């Protein structure tokens, strides 16, 4: 196996490890409908995935009365609580994480989810003990601010130059750029490949099998 270029691999959660994009889109649209607000189309709703909850609602429905944003968050959480048994990890995700752990990489998660939401999802997937550190949007600044990566590298005693951020949105890739980490895109999540490629990731995986293979051969 070639010499490692990275010691810490940081994953986004929704759309990267968990197949939850369609569920999140449905919940954003349902929240808007509940409040009699314009219902964003699928593309607009998917584009804000990865941001913190309040930032996502502000981005998907700009210009509305600000009083609606907390109510949008409340209604989103209501609908997600009903549908949160629907999302599942992408096939092969557990095997990939196990293989990377066995190779000695530090593994972390940086997500726009809340702490409660991430812990529940990780517990359901039996992955609570697989990651060395995690950071959620309700604990620090939202992506694409670099705070999550700064905090994770400090917590784990790792160098930013040997840190790889993997995500399915431009928010993930821009966070890596802002922090000085390397960025790798996956094309099977919320943002289209063309948008991801504009940020020049070191690799862009079309599916999780390609991601796994690249990491084992190149990370």
Catalytic machinery residues: 12, 14
Q: Which two tokens stand for residue 119?
A: 């812990």
CA distance linking residue 104 with residue 188, whole number of Å: 26
CA distance linking residue 68 with residue 14, whole number of Å: 24
Q: Which two tokens stand for residue 92?
A: 């092969």
CA distance linking residue 194 with residue 99, whole number of Å: 30
**Cα-only R_g, the chain:** 17
DSSP letter string over 183-211? EEEETTSSS-HHHHHTT--S-EESSHHHH
Q: Is 129 exposed, middle or buried (0-12, 13-18, 19+ CB in 10 A)?
A: exposed
């Amino acid at each position: 196996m070639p010499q490692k270029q990275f010691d810490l691999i940081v994953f986004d959660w929704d759309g990267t490890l968990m197949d939850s994009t369609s569920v999140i889109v449905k919940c954003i649209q349902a929240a808007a409908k509940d409040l009699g607000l314009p219902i964003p189309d699928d593309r607009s709703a998917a584009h804000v995935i990865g941001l913190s909850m309040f930032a996502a609602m502000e981005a998907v429905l700009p210009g509305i009365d600000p009083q609606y944003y907390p109510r949008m968050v409340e209604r989103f959480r209501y609908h997600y609580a009903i549908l949160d048994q629907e999302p599942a990890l992408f096939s092969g995700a557990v095997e990939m994480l196990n293989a990377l752990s066995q190779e000695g990489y530090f593994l972390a998660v940086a997500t726009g989810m809340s702490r409660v939401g991430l812990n529940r999802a990780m517990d359901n997937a039996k992955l609570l003990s697989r990651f060395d550190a995690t950071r959620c949007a309700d604990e620090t600044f939202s992506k694409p601010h670099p705070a999550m990566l700064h905090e994770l590298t400090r917590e784990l005693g790792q160098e930013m130059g040997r840190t790889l951020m993997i995500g399915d949105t431009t928010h993930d890739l821009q966070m890596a750029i802002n922090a000085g980490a390397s960025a790798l895109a996956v094309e099977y999540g919320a943002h289209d490949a063309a948008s991801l490629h504009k940020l020049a990731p070191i690799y862009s995986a079309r599916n999780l099998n390609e991601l796994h293979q690249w990491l084992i051969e190149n990370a």
